[in-house]
Amino acid sequence: MAGPIRVDIDGLAELARTLTAIQHQLDGLGQDIGRDDAAIGAPKVKAQLAQVAGNWSIARQGINEELGKLAAMAEAAAATYRATEQAVARAAGGTAGSG
């Protein structure tokens, strides 16, 4: 038989905040790639750099979407566990703890 499930609710909430912070930091990375294209003389080099910038932008957006989903899942899990803990505590006539 399995033992009791222990969840660090505050840890889950902190994970959600951390993932959101990483998402915001990543969103700002590399947005200025390509702004100096005019200084690049060789058309082939300019084209390759533009391709890299485009690929990075697409990849960054995908990573950001996944980070947002993970943050939302962690936040929802923390809220659900917290609500469940409070409901169990009320049913038992006590008060809920933290995590």
Write the DSSP assignment of 60-74 as a string of letters: HHHHHHHHHHHHHHH
Radius of gyration of the chain (CA): 22
Q: What is the tally of structural domains in the chain? A: 1
Q: Residue type at 58?
A: I
Q: Is residue 17 part of a domain?
A: yes
For residues 11, 14, 15, 20, the Cα torsion angle rounded to the nearest 10 degrees is: 170
pLDDT in tens, 37-91: 667 778 888 888 888 888 888 898 999 999 999 999 999 999 999 999 999 999 9
Q: Is residue 43 part of a domain?
A: yes
Q: Is residue 78 part of a domain?
A: yes
pLDDT in tens, 40-52: 778 888 888 888 8
Domain housing 77: 9-84
